[in-house]
Amino acid sequence: MTLSLGVIADDFTGATDIASFIARAGWRVVQLNGIPRQPLPLDGVDAVVISLKTRSCPAPEAISQSLAACRWLRDRDCHRIYFKYCSTFDSTPQGNIGPVTDRLLAETGSALAILCPALPVNGRTLVNGYLFVNGQLLNESGMQNHPLTPMTDANLLRVMDAQAAGNTGLIPLATLRRGAGAVREHLEALRRQGIRYAVADALDDADLTLLAQSLPDDVLLTGGSGLAGALAALAPRDAERSATPAVPPSTGRAVVLSGSCSRMTNMQVEQYRRQAPARAIDVTRCLENGALYARELAQWVVEQPHRPAPMLFATQAVDVVRAVQARYGAAATGAAIEGLFADIALSLFGQGFSKFIIAGGETSSLITQRLGVGGFAIGQTIAPGVPWVRDIGRPLWLALKSGNFGDKDFFNQAQELYQ
Ligand SMILES: Nc1ncnc2c1ncn2[C@@H]1O[C@H](COP(=O)(O)OP(=O)(O)O)[C@@H](O)[C@H]1O
Ligand SMILES: O=C(O)[C@@H](O)C(=O)COP(=O)(O)O
């Protein structure tokens, strides 16, 4: 049996997001932490999601890891490759969406990549190639202040042109809504013009379904979880499986670790700290002596009441983040805070904590890598794109929340689902 879809995800929140959308159609999804070192039985598996941490690393590193993942998938007879990046197109003029897409195009022999970040259920829509987040232009949505990948232009044709080798075109909404024939003709015309990437407009789920129905087999798929969910829904599998996803047990301790500075996470932290023990990370201490500070913070968490779960947060408003970045540099600050959270998580796991509710893609990626999770079983969805997931090898549960996903009460909602 061949794999229907092989996903290369540029971070771990994105990976659990897309895995949950594919699993919703009853597909059997295996989510992995990188490429497995040992042989992996894939009988009966419909889709594999390979989670990488390649969104903000140097482009050559992102290319080589993505390429290795692509080869691993193609060696297992998977010929439908999907490059998953953020629904807010998180990247810089150096990449990594453009350079990775270029390399995957060459590797797969495809002439054209579809760029479809649209995720209407979470307010991400595209019109004339402009990306909106809950009705606001991307560059006015808060994403212009992202600590690592500030998005200052909502026009994805321009954004892609700046970081990729080829030229970008558009699949306009009007063309999409004329149906599969019109889309295919349009893609042919783009190819003849030498266009290498086609940004897809989409306003709602029906548009994503239309797009999924219209795409020829020989294009490279890239984007958010919306299009992948639509593709899976065209060929639903086991309805029973999608109806009974697992949730964590109420036994075992939990912690909330918040390393995102997005608008939504700021609101979630504000809300949750009113109800639960909460402590802010002192970034200067983190940068000066992270190892000692991690031990102190882990000890603090252990000493708190069990429920609601205590929270540690680096989450801050834009001006606070800017001030610390001006002093220490954005990349160094980000890496130090991620490392601090990973040290704390490892220490807490060693002391019996079995549920980790984490906010932030980079933050989640490093923590999960350091916890040594080999693979993930996809559980109950807490908010669209954020499922509970369980380590396939151990009773360890994770909720990896994208910075902008979930509503204000997300941290409570995750805990309300315990069995
Ligand atoms: N107070 C802070 N000052 C500077 N950088 C921060 C602060 N808090 C978190 N960060 C860094 O910002 C980045 C947030 O990225 P990420 O975890 O991917 O969140 P998101 O999901 O919102 O993109 C991480 O590298 C994190 O370490
Ligand atoms: O597509 C999305 O929005 C998410 O799946 C995603 O990629 C999350 O990234 P972060 O916001 O950096 O967590």
CATH of the domain at 312: 3.40.980.20
- Does one domain contain both 198 and 81? yes
Boundary (domain end) residue, out of 214, 242, 270: 242
d(CA 11, CA 37): 19
Residue 385: partners with Cβ closer than 8 Å, 6 or more residues away:
17, 20, 21, 119, 121, 122, 225, 402, 405
- Does one domain contain both 87 and 121? yes
In a domain, 16, yes or no: yes
The fraction of the chain above a pLDDT of 70, given in percent, is 98
Residue 229, Cβ neighbours under 10 Å: how many?
25
User: Are the C-beta atoms of residues 126 and 202 closer than 8 Å to each other?
Assistant: yes
Residues with CB under 6 A from ligand 2: 11, 13-14, 17, 86-88, 90, 224-225, 360-361, 385, 402-404
Average pLDDT, the chain: 96
- Does one domain contain both 302 and 171? no
Q: Minimum-distance ligand to the CA of 123?
A: 2
Please report the sign of the dihedral spanned by the C-alpha atoms of residue 140, residue 145, residue 146, residue 152: positive
Among candidates 59, 78, 368, 310, which has minimal Cα distance to 217? 78
Helix ranges (H only) for 76-155 are: 97-108
In a domain, 187, yes or no: yes
Name the residue at shortest CA distance from atom 5 of ligand 2: 14
Indicate if the pLDDT at residue 165 is higher than 80: yes
In a domain, 247, yes or no: no
Q: How many CA atoms lie within 13 A of 62 on its CB side?
A: 25
pTM: 0.97
Residue type, 398: L
Boundary (domain end) residue, out of 242, 268, 289: 242
- Does one domain contain both 150 and 228? yes
d(CA 416, CA 382): 9
For ligand 1, pick from 11, 92, 148, 365 the residue to mutate: most ligand atoms within 8 Å of CB: 148
Span 72-85, mean pLDDT?
95
Ligand 1 midpoint to CA 170 (Å):
32
pLDDT of residue 268: 98
Span 365-381, mean pLDDT?
95
- Does one domain contain both 162 and 103? yes
In a domain, 248, yes or no: no
For ligand 2, pick from 8, 13, 258 the residue to mutate: most ligand atoms within 8 Å of CB: 13
In a domain, 238, yes or no: yes
In a domain, 386, yes or no: yes
pLDDT of residue 41: 86
- Does one domain contain both 201 and 309? no
Indicate if the pLDDT at residue 79 is higher than 70: yes
**pLDDT tens sequence across 229-258:** 999 999 998 766 655 679 999 999 999 999
User: Are the C-beta atoms of residues 127 and 199 closer than 8 Å to each other?
Assistant: no
In a domain, 404, yes or no: yes
In this prediction the ipTM stands at: 0.99
d(CA 219, CA 191): 11
Instruction: Work out which ligand 1 atom sits closest to the CA atom of 316.
Output: 1
- Does one domain contain both 150 and 223? yes
d(CA 263, CA 275): 20
Residues with CB under 6 A from ligand 1: 146-148, 259-262, 283, 314, 316, 321, 324-325, 333-334, 337-338, 360-363, 402-403
Among candidates 13, 45, 121, 36, which has minimal Cα distance to 398? 13
d(CA 378, CA 387): 7
Domains held by the chain: number? 2
- Does one domain contain both 238 and 318? no
Residue 259, Cβ neighbours under 10 Å: how many?
27
- Can you give the CATH number for the domain in which 102 is found? 3.40.50.10840
- Does one domain contain both 322 and 201? no
User: Are the C-beta atoms of residues 24 and 232 closer than 8 Å to each other?
Assistant: yes
Boundary (domain end) residue, out of 202, 222, 242: 242
Judged by average pLDDT, the poorest of 170-184, 226-240, 337-351, 352-366 is: 226-240
**pLDDT tens sequence across 118-133:** 999 999 999 999 999 9
In a domain, 321, yes or no: yes
Angle at 258 between CA 269 and CA 364, to 5 degrees: 145
- Does one domain contain both 38 and 75? yes
Domain that holds residue 203: 5-242
- Does one domain contain both 147 and 101? yes
Ligand 1 midpoint to CA 367 (Å):
13
- Does one domain contain both 229 and 266? no
